């Protein structure tokens, strides 16, 4: 078990060691460890070694010049200069919020970036300004669209954060696949099979092999198969890819470069620049007074919380599990699997940074 503050400090030291500025190293570590705090272990510090490998392979610029390359009063395209997506995405969200302050909403499509961590972090930045936040990102092709044997889409997550008054904010943050690929990496570390419906093998058959994607299979869209609505997950993933990649000039579809942890994948000929994101901010008071809206959001949330539920269960609001986990791990610490601890110890040795494997 590790305290979040300890992991943030260590992560920041690693980002400093590869050349990030003090400010951006702190921001990147904040975004990364926030995933662990919220229970999204697949996108947390377990990926730190992957970012270092991106740097080693020349795909990550530790000192990017993030810039707007095209804009209107309410829209922009941002070039991330191959920077950490953990840094590029929050900066792009700031641009979206600045535009929203002026004209009611702001929409930013990002090119030439890298993996940006959990989508929910960036969407939640809008909450402090009484705005609704939207974030999406495309990702390496691990997903087989409905009836396809070819992997053409990424896990392509969507996050939407909506402020409330007395109730906690509504925060929906989910992949457009049955699960994120990081869940398979966790199962692989534990030597466990995957639940049926997460992946298919190279012949298109449902499988519980947690290594299926590495051996020619693919992740399944949200819904798993046609009878259970996989065409809807496919559609959501396609929307994210178009908004993040085609709209910005980033790579898209089968050409999105793999994250460094997906070592079994080969990089395809590029059709754009890096990985793409899409971020948006909408002023609530562009529609109605913010206080009135947030009071009604409280009513909306309480109606769902008060719903009659299945015995032994309760109806959750999007964001509840992560919020509850954040409270628990903020107090008790963050559990890390042994393979993750060992990878952090290797980074500590390489960069001569203190790291305790026996906390």
pLDDT of 153-208, one tens digit each? 999 999 999 999 999 999 999 999 988 887 888 898 888 999 999 999 999 999 99
Q: Rounded distance, CA 319 to CA 236, Å?
A: 20
Q: Residue 241 contacts by C-beta under 8 Å, 6 or more apart in sequence?
A: 138, 153, 154, 156, 252, 253, 256
What are the backbone angles phi and psi of residue 231, rounded to the nearest 5°? -65, -25
pLDDT of residue 176: 96
pLDDT in tens, 325-343: 999 999 999 999 999 999 9
Average pLDDT of every residue of the chain: 94
Q: Which of 270, 276, 257 is nearest to 142 (CA)?
A: 257
- Give the model confidence (pLDDT) of 106-144 as tens digits: 999 999 999 999 999 999 999 999 999 999 999 999 999
Q: In angstroms, rounded to a whole number, what is the distance separating the alpha carbons of residues 92 and 73? A: 15
pLDDT of 263 higher than 60: no
């Amino acid at each position: 078990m590790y305290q979040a503050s300890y992991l943030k400090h260590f992560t920041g030291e690693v980002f400093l060691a590869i050349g990030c500025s003090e400010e951006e190293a702190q921001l990147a570590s904040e975004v990364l460890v926030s995933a662990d705090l919220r229970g999204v272990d697949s996108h947390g510090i377990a990926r730190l070694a992957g970012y270092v490998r991106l740097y080693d392979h020349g795909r990550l610029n530790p000192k990017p010049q993030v810039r707007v390359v095209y804009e209107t009063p309410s829209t922009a395209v941002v070039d991330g200069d191959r920077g950490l997506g953990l840094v590029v995405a929050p900066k792009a969200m700031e641009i979206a919020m600045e535009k929203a302050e002026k004209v009611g909403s702001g929409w930013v499509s990002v090119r030439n970036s890298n993996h940006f961590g959990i989508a929910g972090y960036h969407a939640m930045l809008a909450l402090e300004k009484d705005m609704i936040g939207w974030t999406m990102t495309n990702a390496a092709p691990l997903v087989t669209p409905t009836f396809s044997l070819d992997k053409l889409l990424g896990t392509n997550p969507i996050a939407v954060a909506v402020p409330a008054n007395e109730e906690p904010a509504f925060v929906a943050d989910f992949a457009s696949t049955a699960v994120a690929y990081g869940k398979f990496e966790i199962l692989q570390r534990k030597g466990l099979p995957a639940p049926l419906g997460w992946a298919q093998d190279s012949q298109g058959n449902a499988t519980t092999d947690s290594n299926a994607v590495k051996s020619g299979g693919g992740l399944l869209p949200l819904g798993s198969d046609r009878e259970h609505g996989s065409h809807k997950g496919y559609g959501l993933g396609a929307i994210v890819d178009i908004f993040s990649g085609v709209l910005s000039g980033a790579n898209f579809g089968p050409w999105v470069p793999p994250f460094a942890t997906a070592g079994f994948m080969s990089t395809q000929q590029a059709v754009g620049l890096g990985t793409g994101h899409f971020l948006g901010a909408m002023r609530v008071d562009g529609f109605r007074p913010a206080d009135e809206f947030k009071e009604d959001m409280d009513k909306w949330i309480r109606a769902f919380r008060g719903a009659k539920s299945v015995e032994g269960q309760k109806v959750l609001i999007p964001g509840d599990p992560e919020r509850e986990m954040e409270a628990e791990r903020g107090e008790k610490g963050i559990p890390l699997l042994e393979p993750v601890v060992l990878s952090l110890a290797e980074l500590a040795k390489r960069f001569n940074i203190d790291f305790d494997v026996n906390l």
